[in-house]
Structure 1
Amino acid sequence: MTFQNTREFAQQLDKQDELNHYRNEFLFPQHNGKNVIYFTGNSLGLQPKRTKQYVDEVMNDWSSLAVEGHFYAEKPWWDYHERFANPLSKLVGAKPSEVTVMNTLTVNLHLLMVSFYRPTKTRYKIICEEKAFPSDQYMFQSQVHFHGYKPEDAIVEIKRREGEHNIRLEDVLAKINEVGDELALVLIGGVNYYTGQVFDMKTITEAGHKAGAIVGFDLAHAAGNIKLELHEWNIDFAAWCSYKYMNSGPGNASGCFIHEKHHANKDLSRFGGWWAQNKERRFLMEPKFDPIVGANGWQVSNLPILSLAPYLASVEMFAEVGMEKLIRKRNQITSYLEFILHEIDKDIEGTEFEIITPTNQEERACQLSVFLHGQGRSLFDYLMKNGVITDWREPNVIRLAPVPFYCSYEDMYDFGQILKQGILTVK
C-alpha cells in the first residue's frame, strides 16, 4: 500500500479498519476535552469499558454471598481461574492444560526457576540478552546468588555488535554453542522492551535444547502482541504480565506456561501450595502434597479474584477478535506510523530520527523505538503537554506503541503534526 501523510487518507484507513469499533470499548485519558493519543500500551494498556462489569460482579457476589461466593457465585471463585484456560491457550499457542494465571510476573519467573534452573557444578550458566528489563536482571542475580554462584561467572549476556541496536540471531546461537556443556538455562525476553525486537523463539529453543539446556521466555511484551506457538516451539516454560497489551490493570496477575512434557514429572522441584493440590481432594486437607497434573499444579495460593476479573474481561475480548486480526492491523498501523516519522524527518531540515526497531515485520511487533538525534527530553515533554502519552528511555529514545485494539490511523497523522510542531518549537 502507498501511504499518504494526510488526514483524509488516515480517516479512510480508519473506515476500512475492521477493528475500528473496538476503540469505543476503551476509556481514554482526556486532553482539552479530547482523547489523548495513547502510545504506552506497552507499559499499561487502557481500561476496557467492560472491565467494571466484571469487577462489580465479584463485588456484588462478595456483598450478597460472602464466603459462599467461592461455590455459589455466578462464576464461582474456587475455579475462577479455569475460565482462562481455553481463551488464554489460544492467545499463546498452548494446550489448555499448559497455561494458568497466578501471582505477578517476576514472582512467577522466580517460582518457575525453582523447577527449571537446577544448576550443577559443571552446568550452571544462564544466557540472557544484553539490556534485559531490570527486573529480569535482578532476578538472575538473586537466583545465582541463592545457588552459591557469582553473577559474573554464571550470567552470560548476548551482546549487540558495535554500532548496532539489535541482537543478531546468529550471535544468540553462537553464544549457546560457545557456553555449551556449562549452559543450564536460556531465559530471554520474547520481545525486547527497549528496541521492540522480536526474537526467533523457535530457533533459539531448538539450539538451547541441543546444548542440553532448559529454555524459557519472559513474554511481558509478547503476550497479546505477537503470534505465539509455545507448545509447538517446545518451549519449556514462560511467563507474562497481563497489564500491557492485555489491558488487565496496573500490576495485575501474570500468566504462566509449562509445557506438558513436564507435567507428570514428580521429581521436578517446585514450591507447593494448597491451590496446586489435587482439586478433587483439596478439601480433604491431607498432609501429603499431590499436585494437579498441568500448569495449575504450579499454583501456590488462593487466587486474587478481584485481580482476575479485569484480566478475564480482556481475555474474553481477545477471544472475540483473535490474534490474526490484531496482528494484521498491528502490522499496517505500525508501518503507517513508520511512514509518518520518515515524512516528518524529511520535512524538517537538520532533523534525524533513527528507528532502532527492526524494519522487518517478522522481527518487530507493536512498537517503534525512535532515537532522537539532536533532540532531548524537551521534545518528549512537549508531546506529553500536547496530548501525546508516550514513553521516554535514556539516553534519548521514545517508545511508540500503536496498539491495534484502540489506536487509530488518524491518531498517527495527528501525532505527526504534533511532533513536527514540537521539533520546530523546542529547537
Structure 2
Amino acid sequence: EMRILYIEGKLRYESKFIAQALAAANRFSLDRRILLQPLRAGRPPALSEELDDWLVYHAIIIGDVHSNRFTDIQLEIMKKVVGEYGKGLCMIGGDNSFGRGGWDTTPIADVLGVILDGADKQIVGSIKVIPTRRGLASDMMRIGADEDVAGAWNVLDALPGANLLGKAKIAAQVLATTSKGPAEPLIVAQPYGSGRSLAIAFDMTHKWVLTESETAASQKRFWRQVALYLCAPRGNVSITTDRTVYDLAKLTSSDQAITVTARVEDSTGRMVSASAGETVSLLDGEGKKSLITLRSSGMVRQGKITVSTAGMYTLKFSASVEGKIISAEHRFEVINRDVESIEVLANHDQLRHLSTETNGTFVPLARLSDLFEYISASSEEKTVPRIRYANLVDDFRWYIVGLLIALLCMEWALRKRKSLV
C-alpha cells in the first residue's frame, strides 16, 4: 500500500474527488491535510519538521495552498525527500499554486519541471487537454479502457481554465498541452535527483465525474496513474482487498466475500511469479494472528478469507525481491452497516432508467441550470373547462331550513297582528 500526503489550503470539490479516485483503487493510503491559516509566531506549524515523519510517504501532492503555510524547514524537507530519497511530488492548479502562491521563491521551484514566475497568470476560457507525442507514449496518460490514448482524452469535457505554467525546463517532458492558440503546457513531468515531479495546471477534473457523459472512470484512472507515477513502485510488494469496508451481515449471508490479491514487482517494475518464503498473515483488532494461503494465478496471488466479527483487520505480506525481504500491509474494516447509509451517492444509471420509464428527463447536477430553463420554456397557460354538478337539497339544505323558519315566523307575526291567534 502506497502512502500519499495530500496538502490543501481550503476545502474544495477537487480534493474530494481525487481522494475518492485513489480510495477506489485499494492501492493507496491517502493522508489529507488542510492548512487553513498562514504561519504565525508562537504557534507550532501544522506539519512536522522532522525528516522521518515525511519519509513514511511515497509521494506528496500539493493542492491549492500558498507557500506561506510552510516553514523553510518543511520546504527543504520536501525537496530533500524527492531528490535524495526518491519520493514523488506533484503540484496541481489553483489560485495559490505555482507562481501565484509564491512557490517561485521556494526550494520546490527547483523540483518542478516548469520555470515559475511570481506573476503567474491564468489561462482563461474553456480548454481541452491534448496529449503530446510524448504523452501518447507515456503510461501515465493511459486513462481509457483500451489503447486509444488520444481518443480517451478527446471525449473528456473541456475544463474552465487552468494555471499558465510557463516554459518547461530542459530535462522536463511536456505530456499534455492546450488545444487553442499557442500550445501551453498543462501536464509536465520531470525527474529530480532520485525522485520525480509533476506539474498539473488544471484543478477541475471533478467535472468529468459530474457530467452526463460517461467519463467518471477516466477521471479515476487519471489520478491513479498520477499516483503510480509519483510513487514509482519499483522493487515493491503490494497486498489489497477488493473493498476497504465490508458489511458483516452480507459476509455472513455470503452476499459478499473478502478477496485478497498480492503482487510482487522487481526493480524494473515487472511483476514476478510466486516464490518460496512468501507469507501472508491476518491480524484482527485484538492482535490475533492467523496465516493465509493464496493461490498463484500467473503473476498474481489471490484468495478469499472469512471473518466472523466486526472490527479493523490488517493483512501483512512478505516476499523476497532480488534477495531482499520486503513487506507490505493493507487494512480493511468489517462493520455492522446501517442499511439507510449503504448507498449515499446518487446512482446516475438508476436515475436515468427511472426517468426513461416514467417519460421524464434525467438532468445531472452539472446541468441543473438547464433544468430550470426547460421548466420555464415548457410552462404554458392553459384553460381547462370544468363542469360541476350540484344537488340543491344537499348543498343548500340549511339555507332552505332557515328560509322555512323565517316564513313561519312571518306568518305567525301577520296572524298575531290580525288577531287571528
* Higher-strand-fraction structure: 2
- TM-score for the superposition, normalised by structure 1: 0.26
Larger Rg over CA atoms: 2
Where relative contact order (Cα < 8 A, 6+ residues apart) is larger, the structure is 1
